[in-house]
Amino acid sequence: MPKVLVTGANGMLGQDLCPILEDEGYEVIETDIQNLDITNPGIVNRVLNQEKPDIVIHCAAYTNVDKAEEDIDTARLINAKGTENIAKVCSEIDAVLVYISTDYVFNGGVNVKRTEPYMPFDETDPLNNYGLTKWEGEEAVRKHCKKYFITRTSWLYGIHGKNFVETMISLADKPELKVVDDQIGCPTWTVELSNGIAKLLKGSNYGTYHVCGSGKTSWYGFAKEIFNLAGLNVNLKPCTTDEFPRPAKRPYYSVMDNNKICRDWKIALKDYINLRDLG
Ligand SMILES: NC(=O)c1ccc[n+]([C@@H]2O[C@H](COP(=O)([O-])OP(=O)(O)OC[C@H]3O[C@@H](n4cnc5c(N)ncnc54)[C@H](OP(=O)(O)O)[C@@H]3O)[C@@H](O)[C@H]2O)c1
């Protein structure tokens, strides 16, 4: 039975990913900052050499996009240096490395308006510190490992973390709710991403992949579908990015071509809403 070690296993993705891997028949070693601080090369070396996993799925990250604008050092330490620590040891112990990256490695048509989905080989150009440090993590993986999957995902939501779907539902009783309509992307359920990773692991076509929901929408369109599926009647209004300035710039268009690895975002969202209602 192949052994998989997961970093950041207590995070939103990690908590959905680990049981799915177990169902797939993997032996799963769950780690997080308490027992595997990825910024400490000595600890990374010791734990990975003790466990000798066949596969490492690296979910741990600095994920506060706005805070990264004022604290690039911490974001870089975790997303770039931490990933390099993992990548070096994976290469030494001949483990396959799966690195979770982001649509924020692209600029989203900031200079020239974009309408075509990004392909995995398209030019990267991060707009914010989070995207930059995640891209540096990608580069570390490409530099140190031969057996790797870089899986870029986007607009992630899942039952185990703070996310857009839950935020919208918590705001449903407001007299009016304005949501940005000029940023387009691909909403992705953590379960879809986990299944996508499991599919990739069945083969050895290493490289960079986009593992996000199929189709596209704006944050406004996403919110509208959430309320529709949840049966909530909300006074929802579209607005522009300029009306909601944030510390970190966001791409206007970060739709990624996923080569059909995940289902349509609306179908996945329906499953999520049904499951959360049951829970
Ligand atoms: N959320 C999104 O919309 C999105 C979009 C695209 C890509 N991604 C990527 O998807 C992956 C999973 O995201 P997520 O939303 O599940 O993130 P998350 O909920 O923030 O989980 C990240 C986990 O990493 C842990 N961690 C932080 N620093 C660490 C360290 N030094 N050593 C070990 N563990 C550490 C965190 O612990 P603490 O909570 O204690 O800090 C947390 O358990 C990340 O790589 C992220 O960059 C996310």
Quick one: pLDDT at residue 110? 81
Asked if 108 and 165 count as a contact pair (C-beta separation under 8 A), the reply is: no
| Nearest residue by C-alpha to atom 11 in ligand 1 | 59
Contact 98, 204 (CB under 8 A): no
Asked if residue 144 is part of any domain, the answer here is yes
Q: What are phi and psi of 184, to 5 degrees?
A: -115, 135
Say what the pLDDT of residue 113 is.
82
CA of residue 60 relative to chain centroid, distance: 10
- Owning domain of residue 76: 3-163+187-214+256-262
Rounded to whole angstroms, the Cα distance separating 141 from 86 reads 9
Say which residues have a Cβ less than 8 Å from residue 10's Cβ, sequence separation at least 6.
30, 32
Atom of ligand 1 nearest to the CA of 58: 45
Distances 222 to 169, 228, 236, 251 between C-alpha atoms, Å: 12, 10, 11, 16
Going by C-alpha positions, the residue among 146, 141, 256, 147 that lies closest to residue 193 is 256
pLDDT at residue 140, as a whole number: 98
From ligand 1's centre to the CA of 223, what distance in Å?
Answer: 23
126 in ligand 1 pocket by Cβ < 6 Å? no
pLDDT (0 to 100) of residue 172: 94
Residue 234 lies in a domain: no
Question: Has residue 146 been placed in a domain?
Answer: yes
| 130 is known as an active-site residue | yes
> DSSP character for 124?
P
State the residue for tokens 């607009």.
Answer: 155
**Selected catalytic residue, list 99, 130, 157, 252:** 130
Is residue 152 one of the residues assigned to a domain? yes
Q: Does some domain include residue 120? A: yes
224 found inside a domain: no
Number of domains forming the structure of the chain = 1
174 DSSP 8-state letter: S
Amino acid in position 168: M
Burial 13-45 (b: 16+ CB within 10 A, else e): bbbbbbebbeebebebbbbbeeebbbeebeebe
Q: Which of 32, 160, 212 has the most ligand 1 atoms within 8 A of CB, as the residue to mutate?
A: 32
Candidates 33, 74, 208, 219: which one to mutate for ligand 1, based on the most atoms within 8 Å of Cβ?
33
Find the 183 Cα to ligand 1 centroid distance in Å.
23
The response to whether residue 63 sits with its C-beta less than 6 Å from ligand 1 reads yes
Output the CA 232–ligand 1 centroid distance in Å: 30
pLDDT at 258: 96
The answer as to whether 53 is a domain residue is yes
Q: What span, in angstroms and rounded, lies between the C-alpha atoms of 248 and 230?
A: 30
Question: Looking at ligand 1, which residue's alpha carbon is closest to its atom 33?
Answer: 33
Domain membership flag for residue 156:
yes
CATH number at residue 129: 3.40.50.720
Average pLDDT of adjacent 10-residue blocks, the chain of 279 residues: 96 98 98 98 98 98 97 98 98 98 94 89 96 98 98 97 95 95 97 98 96 98 96 95 92 95 97 84
Compute, in angstroms, the gap from residue 62 CA to the centroid of ligand 1: 6
**Shortest CA distance to 189 belongs to which of 232, 160, 230, 209?**
160
Neighbours of 201 (CB within 10 A): 19
Ligand 1: atom nearest CA of 134 is 47
Nearest one of 40, 31, 28, 20 to 2, comparing CA atoms:
28
Q: From ligand 1's centre to the CA of 91, what distance in Å? A: 22
